[in-house]
Amino acid sequence: MPAPQAMVRTMSPAPFRVAIVGGGPAGLMAAEVLSQAGAAVDLYDAMPSVGRKFLLAGVGGMNITHSEAFEPFVARYRERATELRPLLQAFDPEALREWIHGLGIDTFVGTSGRVFPTDMKAAPLLRAWLKRLREAGVQLHTRHRWLGWTDTGALRLQTPAGEIERAADATLLALGGGSWARLGSDGAWVPLLEARGIAIAELQPANCGFEVDAWSDHLREKFAGAPLKTVSLALPGQPPRRGEFVLTATGIEGSLVYALSAGIRDAINRDGQAIVELDLLPDRSQAQIAAALAKPRGSQSMAKHLHRQLRLEGAKAALLRELTDAACFADPQALARAIKALPIRLVRPRPLDEAISSAGGVPFEALDANLMLRQLPGVFCAGEMLDWEAPTGGYLLTACFASGRASAEGILRWLKSSRA
């Protein structure tokens, strides 16, 4: 079967007509760039409204980007830093902030370096953005699920009124990854592209929680949901990261775990397990802890001794008891070592649909410099459906915005060259 867009390519009269499939940050940003350049833009989304995952990401405070220096910022994208560098250079965090300010939304830098809208909310930003897009002539078509292509290269779309076909001069796919299916990011596009010969890197959970084999009934019933604050966590051979996380009924999750999730997942994929070392008291040395534990406790229980000497109690004390044995508790030196490097064996990530984001997707190797699929001329990709990942902290959104702009500029270059 011929490739979409390359089959029957009858260019519409000016302006160019571009179809965008996916109404998240990447698709909306591409729609803005294309409409400003004079293209006629139809944006299709399967959900009843656009930007649903974007809105939910802002419920706890809309972390839009990060203020750190560019080089460490780019390094957050790990193996795909090289591919994302030019996209992020063209639309860096400062440019993103200026764009937000142009929508009438002020921003500020938090103590962690993260950047937020002043009111901490996503909804006002999205409302202002959609108003701008509609005024620019962008046509938003909700409840339109992409089903693939017809034999003539038109898009097949399932609507409440039935299946329809729509042709365009170029198509951008910005369908998200595979997490949070209820918000539209369900990975249903994977078999559609694989059927066209595109090798897709397996979608995997990123920024996610992980499971242990099993907690004891006591820990699960008494401490599931309890936070562990002011701790540090490390993979073997790597520097520790400081922060906090939460005990769950099946394992651990939270911001500190998310920061290490790529390495944890890779270790599990490679070895069938990942061992992370937890420092319960990062502000005290092992020698200081051992000295405190060696003090006479008289008739006090060990639990009271830990609380009195180290202020170690609650979920921290329970987890220490869960992962050590009686012999360790009887030896101050051994117990001090355990407090500073408590091993937690993780055996699997939580399901993909629970993850904040996903790894895997369309490899950059399948795309040209315009982010167009080499095997499907006229079909471009952007956003989280590309094969990259990043930690939370504004990095995910920034790359989605940047790739949306880059794909739109690539579409314009390609269309102009096609008409030349």
Average pLDDT of adjacent 10-residue blocks, the chain of 420 residues: 42 77 98 97 98 84 94 96 98 98 96 93 95 98 98 96 97 95 93 97 97 97 97 95 97 96 97 98 96 89 90 95 93 95 98 95 98 97 97 95 98 90
H or E segment to which residue 149 belongs = strand 145-149
Look at the chain and count its residues: 420
Compute the chain's Rg from CA coordinates: 25
- Cis peptide bond prior to 15, omega within 30° of 0: yes
Residue 230 to residue 186: CA distance in whole angstroms? 35
| CATH code of domain 17-206+358-419 | 3.50.50.60
Nearest to 29 by CA among 123, 148, 132: 132
Two structure tokens written together for 258: 């998310």
Residue 381 to residue 411: CA distance in whole angstroms? 10
Q: Is the dihedral of CA 91, 92, 95, 99 positive or negative?
A: positive
384 CB-contact burial (10 Å; exposed 0-12 / middle 13-18 / buried 19+): buried
Strands 40-44 and 17-21: parallel
Residue 259 to residue 269: CA distance in whole angstroms? 18
Q: What angle do CA 252, 256, 257 make, to 5 degrees?
A: 40
* pTM more than 0.75: yes
Strands 170-173 and 17-21: parallel
Two structure tokens written together for 316: 């921290």
- Give me the phi and psi of 389, to 5 degrees please: -150, 160
196-229 exposure pattern, b = at least 16 Cβ within 10 A, e = fewer: bebebbebbbbbbbbbbeebeeebeeebeebebe
Two structure tokens written together for 290: 């051992």
The amino acid occupying position 279 is D
Residue 215 to residue 345: CA distance in whole angstroms? 11
- CATH 3.50.50.60 domain range(s) in the chain: 17-206+358-419
Two structure tokens written together for 357: 């984001």
